[in-house]
Amino acid sequence: MRAVTRIYGTLGFKLVMASMVLALGTIGLGGVIVFKVSEDAIKVDAQATVKELAADLDNMKVVGDGGGQDLLDRLTRLKIQKFGAAWVMDKNGFLIAHMDPRYRGDAEARQFIGDYVVNLNVGEQPIQQLGEKNVAHKLKLLDLLYKFSAGFGSYTFRGETELIAFKVLKEKGWFVAVDQPISTAYSELDRIKHTIVTMCVVIAFLVFGFTWFAMRVIIKPYYREQEVTNRRLELLNQELESSKKRLEKSGNSLTRLYDLSIAMQYSGFLESHLPLVLGVAQERFEVDRILLFMPDDQGKFLRCRAAVGNVFESEEKIHVPLGPQGGGLFRAFQGKRTVVWDGEGPVPEENRILPPYDRIRSLRSRTYAIFPLISKDKVVGVLGVDNKMSRRPLSRDDIGAIENFSYKMASLIENTLHFQSMRKAAQEMENRDRLTGLFHLRHVKSIAEGQIGGVVRDGVPISVALIYITNFKEYNERNGYQRGDFVLQKTADMLKSLEVMGVVPGRCYGATFLALFPAKNREQATYLAAGFEKEFRQFAFYGEKRLSGEKLTVKVSVSEYARDSGQTFDEFYARLEEA
């Protein structure tokens, strides 16, 4: 009996000690990996951040010898983790912008910082310098600007050691940097290291204490419990296999969601990509139906912009008013909070959609959740999720996951809409004259070509006025080009006042303007042009008295397009210009 006990004790001791070594080794190795990955992540994040900032600044137009307020605004918009900051040095080593308010005075005073020494860890050299030998690892900021295109290292700034990631914009002569005090950057790493050491010590004590318990209690009944343990392991393996499949499915869905969201954001095609994103979300969250609502341009209705699942009407027919009649959809939109019903009992009165909108079959459900799409404290729409067919209530995990998805969806929609507005504004700027703000002749011609089809088909008239300031050249010579630019701008403002009457004004070249009068015959166009002429004559321009005629004069020629002429607008305009 003593021999058996001695064998059990020896076996138990070896097993427990092996477990302890394995546990401590695993924790230590995992801790080292986590520590190194976290340390590398700090460097990678810093370099990614400075590349993002450099790409943004590279597209910025520079006025004078610095970026001014626009440069400072771009630095301030950058989100640096913890206590980091972004700054820019020019090619002469002077600080020209810093996002930290403490150093903005130095930036305004053009403080020289080019002699700060950097311990370079990583450096990217231009192609023409790749063959150079003896690359130094300790260089001044000014040397880094001329020898490297990007890099990462550390330096001492104002008595504090900091990490620095930089990018050089050669064309602008800027040294763009993001720095962060080492004390704050590595504070999380120190905490991780302390936690790992503490955990290893605690586990070592626990394992030693468990050794006595294992030898006395665990080893003896081990063989009797082995079969039970094996059965439990089989069940666990089955659950793990099932979990693995679910994770793979979720991972594939998340990858597709990410790809679609990037495509939607950068293409600006909101309507075509929304159903695809919702389709992947439906597959990911395993729900019967998802409907996305957004307010219309008038702010009167929540209209369905995309839907997947069992939808019985077309999307344009699915809408509710932005008021009490909208029920739970309106409550979620107005209250900025999620509205959930589990299907137990009748739908609460405040969540019911009132007539006549309750006749829309796609809005009928007893088991649903409505999530507000909130971006920057602004509600851009709502996401309705339900299990109309299965009537399965949504679990807390489901609601939490979809709520997290709704926040990302809101941000994605907001960014896409912003991109659309920027692209529209850019297209608008391309079609307008920079000095006067009027449409270019090319754009006015394209508008007119579209109108001519209506003239021929429906008999709707269209007239054109050619406007020329006859003595503008003399005015320029006597008063200077700045005064001449004002005359052109004022003339453009007078023509813009006709836009309320449907007139489309444009600038041809020099002091020649063009006004398009859709749906107006020659008499109507002449009447409107006469009002412009009167306003022009009555306005007193600076320096008119110096002219030979003592007054700026304008000549207006109005003509109506003949529907049976068969001319293109270019041909019609050429004849009008000759006349």
CATH of the domain at 568: 3.30.70.270
The whole domain housing 553 covers 439-578
- When divided into structural domains, the chain yields a total of 3
Domain of residue 391, CATH code: 3.30.450.40
- Examine residue 249 and state whether it is found in any structural domain, yes or no: no
Say whether both 405 and 451 belong to one domain.
no
Band of pLDDT at residue 12, cut at 50, 70 and 90: low
pLDDT at 81 exceeding the cut of 60: no
Place of tokens 């979990």: 243
**Average pLDDT of span 234-249:** 69
Say whether both 395 and 479 belong to one domain.
no
pLDDT at 47 exceeding the cut of 70: yes
- Examine residue 241 and state whether it is found in any structural domain, yes or no: no
Say whether both 345 and 385 belong to one domain.
yes
Band of pLDDT at residue 505, cut at 50, 70 and 90: very high
Say whether both 293 and 395 belong to one domain.
yes
Higher pLDDT, 437 or 263: 437
Band of pLDDT at residue 220, cut at 50, 70 and 90: low
Q: What is the rounded average pLDDT for all residues in the chain?
A: 79
Q: Which of 180-184, 246-250, 497-501 has the lowest mean pLDDT?
A: 246-250
Say whether both 465 and 563 belong to one domain.
yes
pLDDT in tens, 278-314: 888 878 888 888 889 988 888 889 988 888 887 888 8
Say whether both 403 and 450 belong to one domain.
no
Say whether both 97 and 13 belong to one domain.
yes
Handedness of CA 202, 206, 209, 215 (dihedral sign): negative
Q: What is the pLDDT of residue 426?
A: 67
Contacts of 50 (CB under 8 A, 6+ apart): 86, 150, 165, 166, 167, 176, 177, 178
Q: What is the pLDDT of residue 218?
A: 64
Say whether both 392 and 456 belong to one domain.
no
- Examine residue 167 and state whether it is found in any structural domain, yes or no: yes
Say whether both 356 and 468 belong to one domain.
no
- Examine residue 421 and state whether it is found in any structural domain, yes or no: no
Say whether both 70 and 25 belong to one domain.
yes
Say whether both 27 and 126 belong to one domain.
yes
- Examine residue 294 and state whether it is found in any structural domain, yes or no: yes
Q: What is the pLDDT of residue 15?
A: 63
Distance CA 533, CA 556 (A): 8
Distance CA 165, CA 148 (A): 12
pLDDT at 256 exceeding the cut of 70: no
Q: What is the pLDDT of residue 513?
A: 92
Element housing 272 (H / E): helix 270-285
Confidence (pTM):
0.39
Distance CA 525, CA 532 (A): 11
- Examine residue 252 and state whether it is found in any structural domain, yes or no: no
- Examine residue 456 and state whether it is found in any structural domain, yes or no: yes
How many Cβ atoms from other residues are within 10 Å of residue 509's Cβ? 10
For Cα atoms 434, 435, 436, give the angle at the middle one, nearest 5 degrees: 100
Band of pLDDT at residue 3, cut at 50, 70 and 90: very low
**Average pLDDT of span 518-546:** 89
Identify the CA nearest to 417 among candidates 269, 262, 261: 269
Place of tokens 């701008």: 489
Percent of the chain with pLDDT over 70: 81
Domain of residue 143, CATH code: 3.30.450.20
- Examine residue 242 and state whether it is found in any structural domain, yes or no: no
Distance CA 411, CA 385 (A): 19
Say whether both 79 and 152 belong to one domain.
yes
Q: Which two tokens stand for residue 167?
A: 């990018």
Q: What is the pLDDT of residue 300?
A: 87
Q: What is the pLDDT of residue 133?
A: 47
pLDDT in tens, 403-432: 888 888 888 888 777 776 777 766 667 778
Q: Give the residue from 394, 411, 428 where a domain finishes.
A: 411
Q: What is the pLDDT of residue 72?
A: 77
